[in-house]
Amino acid sequence: MASVSSMNNVCFSNISSHVSLSNRDQHRQLYYGSLSFKWLGRHISSRKKRFGACSIVAESSDIHFSDPEWKTKYQKDFESKFNLPHLKDILDVKPRPSTFSLMKREGARWAGKENVIDSAEKPKDRKNDYVDNDDRTLLKVIKYASPTSAGAECIDPNCTWVEQWVHRAGPRKDIYFEPMKVKAAIVTCGGLCPGLNDVIRQIFLTLERYGVQKIFGVRYGFRGFFDPELPMKKLSREHVQDINLEGGSLLGVSRGGASMSDIVDSIEAREIDMVFILGGNGTHAGANAIHNECRKRKLKVSVICVPKTIDNDILLMDKTFGFDTAVEEAQRAINSAYIEAHSAYHGIGLVKLMGRSSGFIAMHASLASGQVDVCLIPEVPFTLDEPNGVLPHLEHLIRTKGAAVVCVAEGAGQELLSAPDLKDASGNAVLGDIGVHFKNQIKSYFNEKGIHSDVKYIDPTYMVRSVRANASDAILCTVLGQNAVHGAFAGFSGITMGICNTHYVYLPITEVIHAPRTVNPNSRMWHRCLTSTGQPDFSPRSC
């Protein structure tokens, strides 16, 4: 029986292979040099989407709820999909005892006293330092009473509670590489994000803790695998010791790159055993293609991803590193807009924040500031000058409050723009500038009304993404970097790691690249944002 989600995996067959993906009913295509591929996926077919009072429950065509065993079958299929790819799947590799261990206080007391086995003082039932391969964590923890509950995602019409277990991250007792022989490479792809250096540093330090001596940095994204002018950088403790104290990436970043075949040729020629890839959805799709090509060639190479997206738009994860820092830094821009707006006659402060397809930064920044009157995100359509549009509401705010602050995500309102049909180097659609468009629309609207307005427009994008990670993100980066190395030594490949319900987990890359994670307009968090801003429904249609 097919699963309710029946998700198609991204797979690599050859340079011209194509796999399609649905993303908000539009196809996004990624290009890596001569390789082009599309991702195909869809949300869980019973996932409910709500816009205002309108609800849509997509009924499953793949699962028969009349079957009394449907829940058990669904869970078995889920477990199969979330099984982690391992080197043992393609190679006859034997485990060896791990070289990673933690120093414990009671362990120091017994150093050199191994012969005192029966001593009454020796600790009993001491737990080891390792995560068992059978350890799991719940992907979802809320049992919804009905499909009409706010934010409910139900598999069946009765909203039956179904446990969904995923693999717990951490060091394993058995490893599948000999540390002294390992050659590891770290690469950062896409755009800048707070915390990149923290992750690089922790990957290096943890590899060193295992006993790895050959650790290299691949410069400027995937380009560094094939560009002769960009030799790999041999990393040392001196290189990484203080890089967490500044933003950016020690290795540099870039979008796009060569074909996956060329990249794997480079990996094979340089005899790299572990590849740690930091990046977002597009980078994950590329990493999965690299993983599949390595398996096709039966290479003993572990390809491990660390999800890097400031937009917080990776599926299944509580949050990704850089997001907390972005929300915190966005406060500076929002506060400036507030001061400017309230210091001017009929002032309107307009702030554009990052968020191509997901409005998490705009939503959380608006909630955190408490100063935003209107928050606009890609997931919730809006009109500008219709009677229930944003501009009449701004007029109302100017007449009643004398000022207004608007926060808009960069991907919001794209349907209102005539943006060119272009792609960037990562295959992402080039967006129209909603910030500039909105600023001009505000000025035109108030001029036509004969009402004075003073618009202050702020776009802090590059200031936000280039800063050093804050404390929250630094901790997240530390654990993700460590777990990436643990996963590689455990023999996994084609996996990524994240935090789910406060626990750190390993996930197959194939399960997180179907589409970007987006704000659910029926979620409690979006409702909280609406309550905070007090904005009405700007939807172009009503249900």
What residue numbers does the annotated binding site for substrate cover?
309-311, 354-356, 410, 462-465
The amino acid present at 391, given as its one-letter code, is: L
Residue 361, judged by CB atoms within 10 A of its CB (0-12, 13-18, 19+), counts as buried
Measure Cα distances from 70 to 42, 45, 64, 165 in Å.
Answer: 21, 15, 7, 17
Separation in Å, CA 18 to CA 36, 133, 156, 265: 7, 34, 33, 20
Q: Where are the beta strands (DSSP E) in 214-266?
A: 214-218, 233-234
Contact between residue 282 and residue 427 where contact means Cβ atoms under 8 Å apart? yes
Q: Give the amino acid at 133.
A: N
Strand partners, 48: 57
Q: Is 311 tagged catalytic? A: yes
Do you know the residue count of the chain?
A: 543
Half-sphere exposure of 180 (CA within 13 A, CB side): 0
| Bridge partner list, 505 | 168, 498
Name residue, tokens 């205002």.
Answer: 52
Per the structure block, which two tokens stand in for 176? 């599948």
Give the separation between CA 459 and CA 408, rounded to whole angstroms.
10
Q: Which helix (H) or strand (E) holds 56?
A: strand 54-57
Binding residues for Mg(2+): 281
> Catalytic residue among 311, 313, 459, 473, which?
311
CA 383 to chain centre: 29
Asked whether 416 and 437 are in contact (CB, 8 A), the reply is yes
Annotated binding site for ATP: 191, 255-256, 280-283
Can you say which residues are annotated as belonging to the binding site?
Answer: 191, 255-256, 280-283, 309-311, 354-356, 410, 462-465
Three-state DSSP class for 190?
A: coil
Residues β-bridged to residue 55: 50
Output the six-digit token pair for 119.
């001593």
Please, how many CA atoms are within 13 Å of residue 69, restricted to the half-sphere of its CB? 4
Catalytic machinery residues? 311
